Structure 1
Amino acid sequence: MPALRIGRTEIAYELRRSATAFERRITVTPGCVEVMILADDDDAAISAFLDRKRQWLLSTVREMERLVADRHAVPRFLTGSKVPFRGRRMPLTVRCSDGDRIEITYRNGFLVDLPSWAGDDPDRLVASELKLWLKQRSRRDVKEIASTYERRFGLAPRSIRVADFANGWGSCGPEGNVLINWHLIFAPKKVLEYVVAHELAHLRHRSHGPEFWDYLGMIAPDYLASKAWLERHQSTLSADFLN
């Protein structure tokens, strides 16, 4: 593994070439430094890039070591934390990046790239960005599910959006405006599908009479399992951990 010497400190790093990247990047996680370079970079280009970043890299590695050492004091949103998502608790990796903005990606876990301006205590910033990402994903999922029911069954609400709810998981207003609680992003996707189907079924049957449940069973045949899951776990579906 190559290493960069900065004063008396030697920092080992993993070198990775990317055929799709448009710029070089360094990311720092506990115990690991990754240097991503362009596909056609030669040794001189790599050396020049590392030389420009040497002071940033040294201070970032030291800061990461400090955060890990004080982990008991900064516990919530460091690498190794768990974030509830679609019925599971998924691992979180927070990296210090030399990019100019926060980036969140999801690949069997959450990966957060933090720029240098994030400051000494990134906890609140990571929480805020995760909450925004989860709301956006909830909004996307709800629209995709609703589009499927509109295409298959002609159930077209006047509007459909996600929102914060004090109580309940969804509503369908008298004018056909549907609201879905975004906290359902913490439940399995089948549960979210059930709630969306439930509210869309009210476009045909306003009350919860036998005709409503028969119709819901027709458009969502397996809804009973999701309904039971929600009744058992509804008290755990909260975004309080992000506050």
Structure 2
Amino acid sequence: MRVTVIRNKRRKKAAFYVTPNGIELRIPARLSKRVIDRILEEHDTWIHEISQKLPRQTSVLDEGLVFHGKNYPTQIDDGSTLRFDGTSFWVPEAWDDATLWKQYEIWLRERALHYVIERAPIYEKILGVKAKKIRIGHQKTRWGSCSSNGTISINVRLMLAPKEMMDYVIAHEWVHLVHFDHSPSFWSTLQTIYPNTATAKDWLKRHGHTLQLKKTE
């Protein structure tokens, strides 16, 4: 099992801790790599014994990655970036789960922005409005937002849902450029440009909690 090394400027001595997520080696901030490697080598037998007793941690590599509502298997390769070939995600061999989650979100954000930029003109032409700025966020509770100055934000987690959910939220937020509220006029306009509004709202209400990405710094 991989040992997570955690540096802390207040710590005076190195020490191992067994946590629900595995084994941690907590060390003084300035401890050299040479010393860390020696500590790990000296405790190799103990680390192995403890690892055997801990419940196996499920890796994202075992679970696969989701894109537009479908789960795709992950494959390991010797590359340096996350790749998607339409049937599998290819992950660099050197990456751990934390790196993969971070790069996966970056990958999703890039594709989310591209998707929104591609779809928005459809609604802009119908409504006769244009967003001042488009951004991709990672909101906890909101799927999208439209500010008073015309900035529209779309939640990256929608890339985990079927495409229709992203289309609904895009339409929803662009209608806010015309009706900055949730008045009857707003819903009437939205229903006109996106007839499947009720279905999409119901899907997000029932399944939205499953669209989860680990927060990365």
Letter in 1 for 2:141: N
Partner residue, 2:197: 223
Q: Within the alignment, does 1:108 sit opposite 2:91 as a pair? A: no
Q: For residue 189 of structure 1, what is the amino acid of its counterpart? A: K
Aligned residues of 2:82 and 2:89 also touching (Cα < 8 A): no
* Runs of 4+, deviation exceeding 3 Å: 72-75
Q: Offset of 1:159 from its aligned partner?
A: 1.0
Secondary structure in 1 matching 2:60: coil
Measure how far apart 1:209 and its partner are.
1.3
* Match in the other structure for 2:111: 137
8 Å Cα contact 1:176-1:203 kept in structure 2: yes
1:127/1:242 contact within 8 Å kept: yes
Indicate yes or no: 2:92 matched with 1:88: no
Tell me, yes or no, if the aligned pair for 2:64 and 2:74 is still in contact at 8 Å: yes
Q: CA deviation at 1:148?
A: 2.3
The answer to whether the 8 A contact 1:74-1:123 is kept is: no
1:239 aligns with 2:217: no
Q: Which runs of 5+ in 2 are unaligned?
A: 1-51
Equivalent position of 1:122 in the other structure = 96
Kindly indicate whether the alpha-carbon contact (under 8 Å) linking 1:139 and 1:162 is maintained by their aligned counterparts in 2: yes
Identity %: 32
Cα deviation, residue 89, structure 1: 1.9
Q: Provide the TM-score with structure 1 as the length reference.
A: 0.61
Deviation at 1:180, TM superposition (A): 0.9
Following TM superposition, by how much is the alpha carbon of 1:111 offset from its aligned partner in structure 2, in angstroms?
Answer: 2.0
Q: Which residue of 2 aligns with 1:51?
A: none
Aligned-residue RMSD, C-alpha: 2.4
How far apart are 1:155 and its partner, in Å? 2.9
CA-to-partner distance for each residue in 1:183-219, whole Å, 9 max, x for gaps? Answer: 1111111101101100100111112111111100111
> What SS does structure 1 have at the residue aligned with 2:115?
helix
Alignment of 1:48-67 (within 5 A): none
Tell me, yes or no, if the aligned pair for 1:158 and 1:175 is still in contact at 8 Å.
Answer: yes
- SS of 1:240 mapped into structure 2: coil
SS of residue in 2 equivalent to 1:94? strand
| Cross-structure match for 2:127 | 153
Task: Report the more deviating stretch, 193-202 or 153-162.
Answer: 153-162
